[in-house]
Structure 1
Amino acid sequence: MRTTILITSPDQWHAPGLELFQFAPLFPGGPEWLTKPVLIVLLSAVIVMAVCWAAFAKPKLVPRGWQSIGEYAYVFVRDQIARPSLGKDADRWMGLLLTIFLTVLIWNVMGIVPFIQFPVAAYIAFPMVLAVSVYGIKLYLGVRHHGVRGYLRGIVHLPGLPGWAYGIYAPLILAEVFLNSLFTHFLRLFANMFAGHILLAFFSSVGFWFIFERLTPLGVGIGVLGVLMTIAMTAFEMFVQVLQAFLFAMLASMFIASGLHGSH
Structure 2
Amino acid sequence: MAGHPAVGPRPREIELNTADLSPTLHAEGDSLFHIPTLDEFFPEALLFAGTPFEFNRVQLVRLIMIAVVLIVLCIIASRAKLVPGRAQSIVELIIEFVHNGIIKNTLGLKDGMRFAPFLITLFVFLLTMNIAGVIPGLNLAGTSVIGLPLLAALWTFVVYVVAGVKKRGFAGYLKHETAPPGLPKPIYLLLVPIEFLQVVLIRWASLTIRLLANMVAGHIMMVVFIGLTHGLLFSASWLTVISPFAGALAIGIYGFEIFVAGLQAFIFTILAAVYIQMATADEH
TM over 0.5: yes
Query: C-alpha deviations, 1:97-134, integer Å up to 9, x for none?
Result: 11111111111111111111101211111111111111
**In the TM superposition, what is the alpha-carbon distance from 1:30 to its structure 2 partner?**
9.4
Corresponding letter in the other structure for 2:269:
A
Residue matched to 2:42: 22
Contact 1:54 1:66 in 2 (8 A): no
**In the TM superposition, what is the alpha-carbon distance from 1:93 to its structure 2 partner?**
2.0
Which residue among 47, 60, 63 is the counterpart of 2:84?
A: 63
**In the TM superposition, what is the alpha-carbon distance from 1:8 to its structure 2 partner?**
7.1
**In the TM superposition, what is the alpha-carbon distance from 1:227 to its structure 2 partner?**
1.3
TM-score (normalizing by structure 2): 0.82
The whole-number CA distance in structure 2 between the counterparts of 1:200 and 1:29 is 29
Q: What are the ranges of 5 or more consecutive residues in structure 2 without an aligned counterpart?
A: 1-25
Q: What are the ranges of 5 or more consecutive residues in structure 1 without an aligned counterpart?
A: 1-6
RMSD: 2.3
Contact 2:41 2:58 in 1 (8 A): no
Contact 1:121 1:189 in 2 (8 A): yes
TM-score (normalizing by structure 1): 0.88
SS of structure 2 residue aligned to 1:26: strand
Q: Mark the structure with the bigger radius of gyration.
A: 2
Percent of aligned pairs with the same amino acid: 30
Residue matched to 1:119: 141
5 Å-filtered alignment, 1:34-73, equals: 34-73=55-94
Residue-pair matches, total:
256
Q: Which runs of 4+ in 1 moved over 6 A?
A: 28-31
Say whether 1:9 aligns with 2:28: yes
Greater RCO structure (CA 8 Å; 6+ sep): 1
Query: C-alpha deviations, 1:73-94, integer Å up to 9, x for none?
Result: 1111111111222211212222
Residue matched to 2:278: 258
Corresponding letter in the other structure for 1:18:
L
Residue matched to 1:208: 230
Say whether 1:247 aligns with 2:270: no
The whole-number CA distance in structure 2 between the counterparts of 1:180 and 1:30 is 33
Say whether 1:231 aligns with 2:251: yes
